[in-house]
Amino acid sequence: MKLLHAPTSPFVRKVMVVAHETGLADRIEIVFNAASPLQRDPALTSLNPLGKIPALLLDDGTVLYDSAVICEYLADLAGDTAIFPTGPARWPALTLQALGDGLLDAAVGLRYENVMRPEALRWPDWTRAQMAKISGALDAIEQSVHTGPIGHTVHHIGLISLGCALGYLDFRYADLQWREGRPATAEWFAGFDARPAMAATRPRERTA
């Protein structure tokens, strides 16, 4: 298997966390791709017409995308039934995955706005709207820790998604100080972030 990969992508990180959790990381060949929303790379678009990473090229030529699909494929390949639970437990896990992915959509989009769009063309109202999504998601995570879906539940894709989202905020939005006023989330994340799979996939800028 080949994974089109960038070390700063939180969605790539989510896939790699699942790969480590399932024991499949050593079976995945990492292929760096500097995906950009402004410049389409034929090496990427030939596999994913959306021009987005991650994309997973299987040995038979099949291509899977996006991160949610790839994560479920890896869990199924490994015979892991905890990361994507079945029955009633499945829906809370998938809902938390959607919460984490939605937080990341807003955070990554805002990152593009601040880094790639010329300053004179930036729209403050749009920026505030994305920050409101991020804050709303963080408050929902804090509430979920208190009410049970996160606190002491089995390890699953929802928690992986939230962990990668919070890790991305630490990486790209250190000034946000998201832990303030959210002590339960901060405590949960401190423990979750210490997992070997999280430690092995910490985001970093590519140096070569």
The 3-class SS string of 85-101 reads CCHHHHHHHHHHHHHHH
Question: If 0-12 CB within 10 Å is exposed, 13-18 middle and 19+ buried, where does residue 144 land?
Answer: buried
The topology under which CATH files domain 2-78 is Glutaredoxin (3.40.30)
Domain boundaries, the chain: 2-78, 87-199
> Residue 146 corresponds to which amino acid?
H
Structure-token pair, residue 152: 């002491």
pLDDT of residue 170: 98
pLDDT of residue 116: 87
pLDDT of residue 208: 44
Same-fold call for 2-78 versus 87-199: no
pLDDT of residue 206: 62
Report yes or no: 108 and 10 within 8 Å, Cβ to Cβ: yes
Counted residue by residue, the chain has a size of: 208
Q: What is the pTM for the complete model shown?
A: 0.93
Report yes or no: 29 and 3 within 8 Å, Cβ to Cβ: yes
pLDDT of residue 160: 96
The topology under which CATH files domain 87-199 is Glutathione S-transferase Yfyf (Class Pi); Chain A, domain 2 (1.20.1050)
pLDDT of residue 38: 81
Collect the ranges in the chain with pLDDT lower than 70: 148-154, 206-208
